[in-house]
Amino acid sequence: MASLRILQVCALDTTAETMLQPLLLALRDAGHDVGIACADTGASDKLAAQGFTMHDIPIERKIDWTSNWKTIRSIVHILKTGRYDAVHVHTPVAAALGRVAAKRAGTKHIVYTAHGFYFHEKMGRVTYQLTYSVEKWLARFATDYLLLQSGEDYELANRKRFKATKRLMHLGNGIDLTRFYPQARQGNEAFTFLFIGRIVEEKGVLELLNAFENVVSQEPDVRLIIAGEMMESERDQTTKHRFLERLREIPNIEYRGFVEDVPRLLQQVDAFVLPSHREGVPRSIIEAMATAKPVIATNIRGCREEVIDGTTGYLVDVHDETQLAARMTDLVNNPDQATEMGRAGFERAMKHFNEADVIKRQLDLFSTM
Closest by CA to 9, choosing from 117, 88, 99, 97, is 88
Residue 233: predicted pLDDT: 59
Identify the band that residue 318 occupies on the pLDDT scale cut at 50, 70 and 90: very high
Determine the Cα–Cα distance for residues 298 and 314; give it in Å rounded to an integer. Answer: 8
**pLDDT score at 235:** 63
Task: Measure the CA–CA gap between 350 and 345, rounded to whole angstroms.
Answer: 9
Q: What per-residue confidence (pLDDT) applies to 17?
A: 94
Taken in order of first residue, the domains within the chain and their CATH numbers are: 5-174+354-367 (3.40.50.2000), 192-352 (3.40.50.2000)
- Measured in whole angstroms, the distance separating CA 165 from the mean position of its chain's CA atoms is 25
pLDDT of residue 211: 98
What angle, rounded to 10 degrees, do the helices at 283-290 and 335-352 form? 110
Whether the CB-CB separation of 198 and 274 falls below 8 Å is answered with no
Contacts of 133 (CB under 8 A, 6+ apart): none
For residues 61-79, one letter each, b for 16 or more C-beta atoms within 10 angstroms of the residue's C-beta and e for the rest, the string is: eeeeeeebebbbebbbebb
pLDDT for res 230? 73
Average confidence (pLDDT) over 21-44: 96
What value does the mean pLDDT of the chain take?
A: 94
Residue 349's H or E segment, with its range, is helix 335-352
225 strand-pairing partners: 194, 254
Does 232 have pLDDT greater than 70? no
Residue 116 is given by DSSP the state S
Classified as helix, coil or strand, 142 is coil
Q: Which residues contact 233 (CB under 8 A, 6 or more apart)?
A: 12, 39, 41, 61
Where is average pLDDT lowest: 53-67, 139-153, 207-221, 316-330?
A: 53-67
Angle between helix axes 21-29 and 355-367 (nearest 10 degrees) is 50
234-253 burial, b at 16+ Cβ within 10 Å, e below that, comes to: eeeeebbeebeebeeebebb
pLDDT at 33 over 70: yes
Look at residue 187 in the predicted model and tell me its pLDDT: 62
- Choice between 59 and 232, residue whose per-residue pLDDT is larger: 59
pLDDT tier, 243 (very low <50, low <70, confident <90, very high otherwise): very high
Give residue 231's pLDDT: 67
- The reported pLDDT for the residue numbered 237 is 73
DSSP notation for 6-66 = EEEEEEEHHHIIIIIHHHHHHHHHTT-EEEEEEE-SS-HHHHHHTTPEEEE----SS--HH
For residue 238, the model assigns a pLDDT of: 82
Alpha helices by DSSP H, 292-334: 303-306, 321-333
Closest to 120 in 3D by CA, of 146, 92, 98: 92
Helix orientation angle between 321-333 and 205-218, rounded to the nearest 10 degrees: 50
pLDDT digits (tens, 9 = 90+) for 143-189: 999 999 999 999 999 999 999 999 999 999 999 999 999 988 866 78
Per-residue pLDDT of 102-132, as tens digits, reads 999 999 999 999 999 988 888 889 999 999 9
At residue 27, the pLDDT reads: 98
Cα 286 to Cα 299: distance, rounded to the nearest angstrom: 16
